[in-house]
Copies of this chain bind each other. A is one copy, B any other.
Amino acid sequence: MISVSDTLRIISEEAKIIGKEKLDILSCNGLVLAEDILSKDYLPPFDKSAMDGYALRSCDTLGISDENPKGFKVKGVIKAGQWCTESIKEGEAYKIMTGAPIPLQADCVIEVEKVTTEGDKVYLYNEVKEENHVIKFGEELHPGNLVLHKGSEIRPAEIGLFASLGYKEVEVYKRPVVGLIITGDELVAIEDSIGQGKIRNSNEYAITSMLTTMGIKVLSFGIVKDDKAVLTKVIKEALEKTDVVITSGGASAGDYDFVEDILKEIDADIKFNSVAIKPGKPISFATYKDKLFFSLPGNPLSAITTFEQFIEPACKKIMGKEQYMKEEFPVILAEDFKVRKGRVKLIYVRLVKENNNYYAYKIGSQSSNKLTTISKANGVLIVPEDYTYMKAGEVLQGRFIFK
């Protein structure tokens, strides 16, 4: 039995980037850039107006004041998107819209709110400085400038940025394909009736949902009977076709023995098969060539807990994310808590924000076969191994679940 921190360290050492792929930018939200993104253009590609107003020559405004206003002849309107090859002369102006190109010889824009108009004349009441409200050619970017570096996480803003730079596709780190194997003779399909020793397969759905939420493709092998030959075949197939294999064990000790035996027979490198955590002790982890293999406990709560604690960070690291660990923060106990000694305990709680602190409230039984428990919780309290009795007001670490 190894500690939670050793578990995280060992998994993190083995979870590595598995490759790159070019994707359409709209498929990239939440993924990580595997290439530097450089500008191909000068941005803006021309001097443009930052305001709706009038473009003119700043030198023509010298001496203008409230007491000494001056009229300019408006030669026309330049809209955004319109190209302008006109030039202006002394005493002339163009009405100009935000984003529109500045006419030749003009070097400043005065906003529409500061002038008055009469017929084809616009009247100014103050001097205007050179480059006032003008966004200069290449002010933001030059060709070859680094805009986003390899390793940046892609969000909607970056997707907009790719588009503005002319990138329809970008290179991102590959998401692992995950093979999911559900074992346990007690399991029946969702549409089957229960009784006679059976329960419905729920882990396949909960785990698939957690994976697809990360944008990861799941190859599900469904329920595999507790038969060593069959399981061996399926595990081999999964290791061949996917990057990460997850089994969710049946509840009986015999099932897991199969998995461990099979891993030994195929010469997988078993890193550990028991972690000092509750729920979730019987999680095991192995590598096979460049593939990762996790065997999760069959109890729904244990499977979800260990997935979030160990597999989610591994998948995020494979996807190139710098922040791959779950974020923990201090949590104040709103009530007394009592637990048994030994193993780190993850207690499902309701975290409520009050005065900018998080308080942990009990949500009832922590029985690891009850999904109804977790459906009342939005977080877990992380109780160190040697804690048994904690009083309301004490501060422990905690984290959100499904976030």
Contact = CB atoms under 8 A, between A and B. Distances in A.
A157 B200 contact: no
Contacts of A79: 185-186, 226, 252, 254
Contacts of A81: 184-187, 197-198, 226, 250
Contacts of A226: 79, 81
A200 B252 contact: no
A196 B44 CA distance: 11
Contacts of A75: none
A207 to B, nearest CB: 8
B52 A160 contact: no
Most B C-beta atoms less than 10 A away, residue of A44, A162, A190, A213: A190
Interface string A302-320: 0010000000000000000
A197 B304 CA distance: 54
Contact of A160 (B46, B99, B254, B300): B300
Interface stretch (A233-241, A286-294, A334-342, A366-374): A366-374
Contact of A253 (B52, B148, B250): B52
Given A26-B208, A156-B304, A300-B164, A45 B83 contact: no
Interface string A194-206: 1111111111111
Contacts of A62: none
A304 B44 contact: no
Contacts of A224: none
Contact of A372 (B147, B184, B213, B300): B147
A46 B197 CA distance: 7
Contacts of A200: 163-166
Nearest to A206: B160
Contacts of A190: 163, 166-168
Interface string A30-46: 10000000000100111
Contacts of A402: 155-157
Given A52-B252, A81-B185, A253-B52, A205 B99 contact: no
Nearest to A378: B155
A68 interface: no
Contact of A252 (B98, B185, B251): B98
A161 interface: yes
Contacts of A105: none
Contact of A101 (B197, B204, B298): B197
Contacts of A52: 252-253
A109 interface: no
Interface string A179-190: 000001111001
Shortest 9 CB-CB contacts between residues of A and residues of B: A81-B185, A160-B206, A81-B186, A97-B252, A99-B251, A80-B186, A164-B202, A156-B209, A98-B251
Interface of A: 25-26, 29-30, 41, 44-46, 50, 52, 79-84, 97-101, 135, 140-141, 147-148, 152, 155-168, 184-187, 190-210, 212-213, 226, 250-254, 298-300, 304, 329-330, 356, 367, 369-372, 374-375, 401-402
24 contacts: A41-B193, A46-B196, A80-B184, A80-B185, A80-B252, A81-B184, A81-B187, A81-B198, A82-B186, A82-B197, A97-B252, A99-B298, A99-B369, A100-B251, A140-B370, A148-B375, A155-B209, A157-B304, A157-B371, A157-B375, A157-B402, A161-B202, A163-B204, A164-B202
